[in-house]
């Protein structure tokens, strides 16, 4: 962990606290695989959730450095596998089948990551080549242990640093835990894969393998085999004659299209989950973590990106205030100036000249200065945007994110914001209201009946009050009469 903190140039106090916590909890860890480099061995020993963190960092050599990034890429799909016999036993138990009867061939593990490993197999009945994904043994228990530690760390951070509460550490951990739990039930991943394949079917140059539902369950997922080169194997990509610049731009462009157009996107798009097909198509794999955006959030996100592209920092600031991302008591002009400091140095520079570490550090200062809280609904989007841009950079170091984003965002803006979009929204509203048309007479009668009943209750209450008043008055007269009579 000290290596990672050093890569981030973390303050000395944080490094001291990290070492103290590490010594305190070291006895809880495992030994790790001695064949791995020290950092990777440490992350593997700490648990699968820490491996996930390493996968994210592996996509950002501009933040952690080339050497550390190169080491961390091993975590994407080259973790130590578990035995083939264990995988076969799991498949036979979950699917109630005999592997050697259903498959004419079943390979040793060909890729192993933090949560599962993949085997190549051939279905005996059809001859189709498939990829069979099998969860690691005891993975659920391991993740529970990791998240207990994460929640403890989040509580310590919030307790020792009250200013960090605006970042909602525990809320972020809860969100992350929910995402990972989806990965631990491969039925949910199968559903996501099927939905993603349907929504991207017409995207040229982008493929999603089809599911085999009969051979999938909670701990097993089977889909078409996808032949291709891993996106982190740059030498083989070059040897195959692929245009890395075009591929890098397509990765970024399609991520934005899926997020804005569909509101449903792959939220774990590191190199280990992408292959390059022989024809140059991008093949997406591993759909355990997917992101969703509602229509309003997509429009806000598009307007923010478009404002940066147009260098309209005042409009970017206004969108943040309108969406409630910045407290209303802050100065909008000051916020626009702070955003200009972020945007201006990036434009006109090649990706290799931009220090994303410095940009991220300044963005953190801005969020603290203007009281911006972590938006849980945008965590997937923000995290994936960082990862995807890192993947695109690894394929083509001089990629310009803004140039790639411009046509995608402009198309979305043209289609989703303006008179045409307003008419379409009104039409959708009319359709929703039309569904209630057959019920309107009954709803009106019910409303009138309820109103009449309430009126009768009010009248009855009024009458009751009147009767009570007359009764009290009569009682008072009777008492007075009796008192007068007693005097006489």
> Which tokens go with 86?
């264990």
Positive or negative: CA dihedral 436, 438, 440, 445: negative
Tokens 């820490």, located at residue: 50
- The pLDDT value given to residue 483: 42
Locus of tokens 């648990």: 47
Pairing of β 282-284 and β 206-207: parallel
> Measuring CA to CA, which residue among 28, 125, 9, 72 is closest to residue 272?
72
The DSSP symbol for 78 reads B
- The answer to whether 162 and 368 are in contact (CB under 8 A) is no
DSSP alpha helix (H) spans, 60-185: 61-64, 66-72, 74-77, 84-95, 99-102, 139-160, 169-183
* Residue pair 252/404 in contact by the 8 Å Cβ criterion: yes
Main-chain dihedrals φ then ψ at residue 29, nearest 5 degrees: -80, 175
CA–CA separation, 55 vs 139, rounded Å?
Answer: 17
Among 220, 223, 225, residue whose Cα is nearest residue 92? 220
DSSP state of 7: H
C-alpha torsion sign, points 207, 210, 211, 215: negative
Q: Are 223 and 209 in contact (CB under 8 A)?
A: yes
**CA 442 vs CA 248, 437, 445, 448, 449: distances in Å:** 58, 10, 5, 10, 10
Pick from 149, 90, 148, 150: which is nearest to 116 by CA? 90
- The Cα–Cα gap between 38 and 139 comes to 22
pLDDT for 274:
95
> Residue 427 has what pLDDT?
73
Please work out, in degrees rounded to the nearest 5, the angle formed at the alpha carbon of residue 294 by the alpha carbons of 189 and 76.
35
Collapse the DSSP code of 98 into the 3-class scheme (helix H, G, I; strand E, B; otherwise coil) and give the result.
Answer: coil
pLDDT tens sequence for the chain (488 residues) = 454 445 444 445 445 545 545 544 444 455 556 666 677 777 777 777 677 677 766 665 655 666 777 777 777 666 789 999 999 999 999 999 999 999 999 999 998 888 899 999 999 999 999 999 999 998 888 888 888 888 888 888 788 777 777 777 787 788 777 777 778 899 999 999 999 999 999 999 999 999 999 999 999 999 999 999 999 899 999 999 999 999 999 999 999 999 999 999 998 888 889 999 999 999 999 998 898 999 888 988 888 888 888 889 999 899 999 988 889 999 999 999 988 887 777 665 555 555 555 565 666 677 778 888 767 667 778 778 878 888 898 899 888 888 888 899 888 888 877 666 667 667 767 776 676 667 767 767 777 777 766 666 555 555 555 554 544 445 444 444 444 444 44
List, in order, residues 6 or more apart from 317 with CB less than 8 Å away. 326, 332, 333, 335, 336, 339
Residues 13, 18, 19, 23, CA torsion sign: positive
Q: How many CB atoms lie within 10 A of CB 217?
A: 18
What backbone phi and psi angles, to 5 degrees, belong to 398?
A: -95, 20
- Give the up-direction half-sphere exposure of residue 404: CA atoms within 13 A in the CB hemisphere: 23
pLDDT value, residue 376: 66
Residue 169 · residue 154 · CB < 8 Å: yes
Question: Which of 187, 198, 205 has its CA nearest to residue 133?
Answer: 187
CB 144 within 8 A of CB 173: no
Q: What is the pLDDT of residue 485?
A: 44
Contact in structure between 342 and 359 (CB atoms under 8 Å): yes
Q: How far apart are the first and last CA of the chain?
A: 103
CB 208 within 8 A of CB 228: no
Q: Is 311 left (phi over 0), alpha (psi -120 to 50) or beta?
A: left
Separation of alpha carbons 87 and 289, rounded Å: 23
Specify the pTM: 0.71
Bridge partner residues of 120 (DSSP): 131
- Yes or no: say if 325 and 366 are a contact pair by the CB < 8 Å rule: no
Burial class of residue 373 (count of CB atoms within 10 Å of its CB; 0-12, 13-18, 19+): middle
Residues 369, 361 contacting (CB under 8 angstroms)? no
Cβ atoms 185, 220 nearer than 8 A: no
Which pLDDT value is given to residue 334? Answer: 93
Question: Which pLDDT score is estimated for 368?
Answer: 74
pLDDT of residue 386: 78
Q: State the pLDDT at residue 442.
A: 75
Catalytic residue set: 268
Rounded Cα distance, 341 and 326, in Å: 17
């Amino acid at each position: 962990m000290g290596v990672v903190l050093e890569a981030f140039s973390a303050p000395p106090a944080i490094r001291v606290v990290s070492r103290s916590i590490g010594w305190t909890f070291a006895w809880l860890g495992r030994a790790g695989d001695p064949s791995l480099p020290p950092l990777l061995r440490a992350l593997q020993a700490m648990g699968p959730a820490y491996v996930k963190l390493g996968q994210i960092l592996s996509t950002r050599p501009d933040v952690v450095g080339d050497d550390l990034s190169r080491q961390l890429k091993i975590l994407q799909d080259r973790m130590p596998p578990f035995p083939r016999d264990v995988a076969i036993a799991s498949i036979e138990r979950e699917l109630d089948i005999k592997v050697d009867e259903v498959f004419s061939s079943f390979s040793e593990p060909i890729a192993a990551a933090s949560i599962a490993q993949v085997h190549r197999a051939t279905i005996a009945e059809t001859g189709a080549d498939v990829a069979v994904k099998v969860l690691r043994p005891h993975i659920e228990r391991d993740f529970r242990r990791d998240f207990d530690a994460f929640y403890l760390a989040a509580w310590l951070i919030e307790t020792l640093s009250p200013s960090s509460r605006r970042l909602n550490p525990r809320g972020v951990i809860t969100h992350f835990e929910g995402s990972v739990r989806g990965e631990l039930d491969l039925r949910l991943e199968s559903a996501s894969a099927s939905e993603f394949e349907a929504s991207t079917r017409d995207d040229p140059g982008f493929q999603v393998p089809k599911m085999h539902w009969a051979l999938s369950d909670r701990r097993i997922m089977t889909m078409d085999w996808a032949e291709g080169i891993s996106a982190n194997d740059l030498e083989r990509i070059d040897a195959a004659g692929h245009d890395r610049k075009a591929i890098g731009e397509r990765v970024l462009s399609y991520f934005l299209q899926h997020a804005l157009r569909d509101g449903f996107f792959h939220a774990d798009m590191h190199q280990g989950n992408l292959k390059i097909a022989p024809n140059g198509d991008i093949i997406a794999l591993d759909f355990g973590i997917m992101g969703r955006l509602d229509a309003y959030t997509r429009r806000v996100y598009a307007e923010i990106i478009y404002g940066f592209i147009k260098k309209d920092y005042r409009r970017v600031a206004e969108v943040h205030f309108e969406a409630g991302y910045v407290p209303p008591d802050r100065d909008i002009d000051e916020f626009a100036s702070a955003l200009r400091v972020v945007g201006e140095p990036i434009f006109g520079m090649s990706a290799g000249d931009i220090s994303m570490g410095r940009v991220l550090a300044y963005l953190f200062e801005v969020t603290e200065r203007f009281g911006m809280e972590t938006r849980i609904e945008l965590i997937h989007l923000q995290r994936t945007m960082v990862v995807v841009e890192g993947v695109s950079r690894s394929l083509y170091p001089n990629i310009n994110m803004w140039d790639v984003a411009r046509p995608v965002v402009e198309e979305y803006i043209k289609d989703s914001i303006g008179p045409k979009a307003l008419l379409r929204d009104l039409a959708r509203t009319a359709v929703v209201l039309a569904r209630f048309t057959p019920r309107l007479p009954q709803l009106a009668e019910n409303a009138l009946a309820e109103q009449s009943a309430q009126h009768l209750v009010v009248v009855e209450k009024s009458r009751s009050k009147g009767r009570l008043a007359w009764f009290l008055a009569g009682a008072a007269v009777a008492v007075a009469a009796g008192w007068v009579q007693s005097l006489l």
